Structures are given as structure tokens and as C-alpha cells.
Chains A and B, each alone.
Chain A
Amino acid sequence: MNKMVLIGGAALVAVAVVAGVMLSGRETDGSETVAANDETPTVEISIENHLFSPAEVELPADQKVKLVIKNLDPTPEEFESHELNREKIIAGNSEGVIYVGPLKAGTYPFYGEFNEDTAQGKIIVK
């Protein structure tokens, strides 16, 4: 009985994940961008002395974009953007990847949550 419930729960989650991945595949196939990671445009943003560089990034609209955030500071930083609905901790002297988009045209501010006074930037989608 108990085992049955547990298996049922596991199956449910598995179905949800598989369905999501399948749906994701279907959508990317249909759009003009290609699903493969290496064909997604990549933009690098570095963090140094708690400042983003570049602090203003221009991205194409309606396209998935790979952001590579390089933290050159020894201290960790959290890349955060409410408008982009993204947050990610980047440990000191390391880098992380964040996928964004497809985005509509507009301005999307982002900031470093751990050093909000200085770490400010924005993505401009055209």
C-alpha cells in the first residue's frame, strides 16, 4: 500500500518532468532559434569590484540567449533580475550560465543582490 503511493508519487513527478521536456522540445523546434545550446547566442558579463561590465547589454528580441556571468571578484555575488525572473549565485572567482528569453523588446534591469549599491546593470532588448 505505502509502496504503491510512493511509486505513484514518483511516477507523477516523472510524468510532469518528461511532459515539460517534451513540450520544450516541441516549442524550440517550431521557433526560428535552434534548440542546440551551441547555436544559442552567448553574451558575457563580468563582475569586477562589484560592478558589471558591460553594465548595459543589448540583446535580440524573441530569441533565447545564453548569458555567461563571470565573477572576477573573490567574493560571491547573486545575479538577480525581477524583470527577467532570474536569480543565480555566482561564487567568487567563478562563472555561471543563465538562459534568458525569448524576450519582448524593452528594458530589463538586473543587479547584484549582495552589492546592490554598485552592482547595477540593464539588458536592452531590441
Chain B
Amino acid sequence: MLATLIIVFREVIEAALVLSIVAAATAGVAHRNRWLAIGVGAGLTGAVIVAAFAGRISSSLEGSGQEIFNASVLFLAVLMLGWHNVWMGRHGRELAMEMNAVGKAVSTGARPLYAVAIAVGVAILREGSEVVLFLYGIASTGVDGANLLAGGLAGLVIGAALGFALYKGLVNLSTKMLFGVTSWLILLLAAGMAATGAKYLVQAGILSAMGPALWDTSWLLDDSSVFGKMIHVLTGYAARPLPIQLIFYVVTLVGIGTMMKLFGSAPSTNNKKTVLA
């Protein structure tokens, strides 16, 4: 039962952390709950559908369908998270400075909530389909199925609780801190997702790893352990990263970061002056 709990927890934790970070980043924004609910609902529905067609997805594209699917979904999430961050770089500071007046107006308007909904949806889709497959496998084994299923559900609940705890911790920050912290978390999340996407393309034989793993720090922090997995999600940490993963990580980090600076700089300087005065 404990083994089941840990397996499910490991699958759930990524989606739970993604959800909690973007929920914190969009705290107080009008219609945000509706968009997040759409993301979660679509993700769960998609997870069941993907699980049902897992065999067909896996054997498609010369047996690498699963990797190409996972990589596509990850890159889509990277785009959406990046897009949201760049938008926030542009408008977020106005929002943080004048939360009550302009902020509310800005946040109700053009904020790309569909982008965070898609990011949440695909995270749940990807991890959720694995949970569904795993629990289905257990359920069909019979005798001790019920016991194992309980472990799986416990893993689900603990993962969700941890995500909720992170959310609570984040929204307790001051508005200004929250903006900075969630921007960074989303940036790291996106970079880590891009690196994982690259790994799937290597596994599919499409992309070269560009050499053996750069280092092996699994003795220090194993990224398949429960704690290691959380650090992996939050920072993109990998115990045995391939060179191509590092390239994707850095390109994403620098790319989104540069665009945030580029498109966010004009209003931010104005606001800084306002704060100082």
C-alpha cells in the first residue's frame, strides 16, 4: 500500500505544484476560479481519454508516440507559462503597485487566464493519465486491489494537500513579493518543463542527447525520491541531466526572462519612480 501511495504521490505532485503556483500567481483575479476549474476539468477528462488510448498512442509514430505526445504537451505548457509571465511583466507591476484601483481593472481585463488554464490542464492531463493507468492496473489485479487502491487515493490526497500548503504559503506573501516569487517559480517551472520535453525527444530518438549525462548528483538528491521530485518540479533540478536538457533549460530561462525584461521594462521604470516618490 505504501509503494502505491508513493508512486501516485510522485505522479500527482507535479500537477499539484503547477496548479498551486499558477493559482497563487492569479490570486484575486476576477474569473480566475472559473478558468482554473476549466483547466482542471479538461485536464482530468483528457487524462482518462489519454489513458484509454494509451496503447494506441504508445505504438503510434514508430513506438515513440508517447514521448512525442508528452514533449508536445510540455512545450505547449512552456509557451503558455512564458506568455503569462511576459504579460505579467508588462502589466503585473501596475497591478502590484495599485492593487485596489488600476490593478483590479487590469486584472479583470486582458490577462491571459486561458494560458494558465491550458498550462494547468496539460499538467493534469500528462500526470493524470499515468495515475489513471496505474490505478486501473491495480484495480484489475483483484484480491488486494482495494487495499492498493486506498494507497493510491492516499497518495492523491497527500499530493493535493501539499499543493494546497504551497498555495497557502504563497498567498500569505505581500502582494509585491507574491508577484516576484510567482514570476520566478513559473519561469523555473517552464524551464524545467522544456528540459523534460527535450529528454522525451531524446528517448524517442529524435533529438541527440549531445553526450552522456553532465553530472550525477543522485547520491546527493535523487530526483525520483519524493523530496527530489518536488525540487525537480520547482527548479527543474535533474540528478543526471543530459547536455541537451541543460541547453533547453537555459534557452527557455533566458528567452522568457529576456522577453519579460524587454516588454516589461517601460511601465516598470515609471512605477519604480512612483514608489520612490
Contacts and interface: CB of A to CB of B under 8 A. Distances in A.
Interface in A25-51: 25, 27-28, 37, 40
B218 interface: yes
Interface residues of A, number: 51
Contacts of B240: 82-83, 85
B239 A82 contact: yes
A86 B203 contact: yes
A112 B255 CA distance: 37
Interface stretch (B34-42, B116-124, B131-139, B155-163): B131-139
B87 A2 contact: yes
B4 to A, nearest CB: 9
A99 B204 contact: yes
A85 B214 CA distance: 12
A20 B248 contact: yes
Interface residues of B, number: 58
A51 B239 CA distance: 27
B66 A96 contact: yes
A78 B64 CA distance: 14
B263 A5 contact: yes
B58 interface: yes
Contact of A76 (B134, B202, B212): B134
B59 A75 contact: no
B224 A99 contact: no
A16 B248 contact: yes
Contact of B55 (A2, A10, A88, A92): A92
A125 B136 CA distance: 35
B247 A89 contact: no
Interface in B65-94: 66-67, 75, 78-79, 82-83, 86-87, 90
B14 interface: no
B229 interface: no
A65 to B, nearest CB: 10
A57 interface: no
B208 to A, nearest CB: 3
A80 B223 CA distance: 13
Interface string B83-116: 1001100100000000000000000001010000
A76 B79 contact: no
Contacts of B137: 75-77, 92, 114
A31 to B, nearest CB: 9
Contacts of B3: 116
B198 A97 contact: no
B63 interface: yes
B252 interface: yes
A94 B59 contact: yes
A64 B77 CA distance: 30
Contacts of B212: 102-104
Closest 6 A/B residue pairs (Cβ): A97-B63, A24-B208, A99-B205, A94-B55, A91-B55, A75-B137
